Chains A and B, each alone.
Chain A
């Protein structure tokens, strides 16, 4: 059973890595997948990457499961974690076959999404307004600078007190981080727009409103999306802390609760799940950004750009 599991995990790891590499490569000409797989598997860089993973998992296994070194022996080994994660009858009640696992995922995703969307919906207009209207900028920037240095997580106690219940409090602190990141990146985006675009638009007879939609918004978009990616990461960051401190469900809660009830493999399942969801959500923002900024893709890929 154990050996089979190891072999399956290894094969999955190798194939997964290879597929990941292949989709990341620029395809110059069409080659069959089998051919590509063969080239990738035999390339030195791929073998090194594979070696990196094997060493990582191997070290984990050797220190924890094989040698049971002091300090390390308190942690679960890789096989325990993977075994528990994939087990239809998990010892500690959490695996891909249990409903609870998805309940926690659902709660975390729901909170992160709500906070992120709220922050985006409020932060982008706020940042645009700051960049577009000097008066608004003068009034709001000192306030932003006054509140921003306080780490969002320091808001948790106050948020629990003021807001009804811990659920809105957790969403609020998550929102707060994302909001500042989005606002400031949007502002930075507007400030990064070359003055000449504004001047050109005015020369061509654009009104202030035209300038907002034809210059400010598209010009700030690259920075806005950079901001949204950071904001997504920051949302997960503070969500986990919020859930550990003050929530009933969610992956952060799961991790902390598993620690309290000595269900150690579940801690690792929770961490890995957070990593996967966090990565996927950033990737999603990136894809949307690319879709919206076709002009930028065209520019970066060069086209017929002959001279400077």
Chain B
């Protein structure tokens, strides 16, 4: 809420991701689907990168591979120079790259506090009471002090997503992977969520990989916006956003913002038309 008095971004020392010539082919029941092809993208440590593109273009596939939910078919992904995903390594999710999911994946059967402390406790990094102290502190930072005993089902979607981001950050990950976390939110909740996320980003300086198809959201939040092509997906264009940090809502009307937006609109529209036509061909 108070983006103006935040500390300047402290760039993290690690969390650099390097996607090199990644191809991903799905082959369920004899259907050959090329989801990603020759996809390359560099993400510096502490950089906030947003990826936009038409639905079904492979954005989530890329995120799932980074998270360790899926194999790559060719190519590799490096995290701080070490191989994270290659065709020969078994994918392994880990608390150094935590995902926040589109529909939300807070455990509905655990209270907010139990959810947030889950990571550190299950990894035996902190004991229950230390984890709770830390969790309370972090929840308070995003204005969620009085809900620790609530179940996720009792919270609004905005609060749920904040809790989920805290549940990820409490593990001190190198990278935060956000898969359209603010989709299906109303405008007010969404912009509030943006400010909370930016504040957390400013405070922690984590590398963030953010998927969305909302261009304004991408420009407003990220240091770099990458446009993915329709399937088979690769990064067609990556634009640096030079808006100063901390960001505030007035920037949404600035010249620079509008210039970036029009540039992205062109690129994305072209892909959307292609995706739409491809979809119709497949239906026929």
- List residues of A whose CB falls within 8 A of some B CB: 194, 196-197, 199-207, 210, 214-215, 218-219, 221, 293-296, 298-300, 302-308
Contact = CB atoms under 8 A, between A and B. Distances in A.
Interface stretch (B22-30, B41-49, B96-104, B227-235): B96-104
Interface string B141-161: 000000000111111111000
Contact of A200 (B105, B123, B156, B184): B105
28 contacts: A199-B93, A199-B105, A200-B105, A200-B106, A202-B68, A203-B94, A204-B123, A205-B119, A205-B123, A206-B118, A210-B122, A214-B122, A218-B107, A221-B109, A295-B111, A295-B151, A295-B153, A296-B108, A296-B109, A298-B153, A299-B152, A303-B154, A304-B154, A304-B156, A305-B156, A306-B157, A306-B158, A306-B189
A221 to B, nearest CB: 7
Contacts of B111: 295
A197 B153 contact: no
A308 B151 contact: no
B110 A307 contact: no
List the 9 shortest-distance A-B pairs measured between CB atoms, nearest first. Answer: A299-B153, A303-B154, A204-B119, A218-B109, A205-B123, A196-B105, A200-B105, A202-B93, A306-B156
Given A204-B171, A299-B153, A303-B151, 12 more contacts: A196-B105, A201-B107, A203-B95, A205-B95, A214-B110, A214-B118, A218-B107, A293-B109, A296-B109, A303-B155, A306-B157, A307-B156
Contact of B154 (A196, A219, A293, A298): A298
Contacts of B68: 202
Contacts of B276: none
Contacts, number: 104
A204 B97 contact: no
B93 A299 contact: no
B167 interface: yes
Contacts of B105: 194, 196-197, 199-200
B67 to A, nearest CB: 7
A206 B97 CA distance: 14
Contacts of A206: 118, 122
Interface in B57-83: 67-69
Interface centre among A196, A203, A300 (most CB of B within 10 A): A203
Interface residues of B, number: 38
Interface in B209-236: none
A299 B106 CA distance: 13
B150 A298 contact: yes
A293 B97 CA distance: 31
B185 interface: yes
Contacts of B110: 214, 218, 295
B154 A307 contact: no
Nearest to B98: A203
A299 B97 contact: no
A217 to B, nearest CB: 9
B67 A204 contact: no
B151 A299 contact: yes
Nearest to A298: B151
A40 B186 CA distance: 42
A302 B152 CA distance: 10
B150 A204 contact: no
B122 A204 contact: yes
Contact of B103 (A196, A201, A221, A305): A196
B158 A307 contact: yes
A308 B171 contact: no
A203 B170 CA distance: 12
A196 to B, nearest CB: 4
Interface in B151-192: 151-158, 167-168, 171, 184-186, 189
Contacts of B118: 201, 204, 206, 214
Contacts of A218: 107, 109-110
Contact of B122 (A205, A293, A300, A302): A205
Nearest to A196: B105
Contacts of A207: 122
A196 B99 CA distance: 10
Given A199-B105, A215-B107, A305 B119 contact: no
Contacts of B107: 197, 200-201, 214-215, 218
Nearest to B123: A205
Given A194-B103, A196-B103, A205-B123, A308 B150 contact: no
Contact of A303 (B106, B123, B153): B153
Contacts of A199: 67, 69, 93, 99, 101, 105
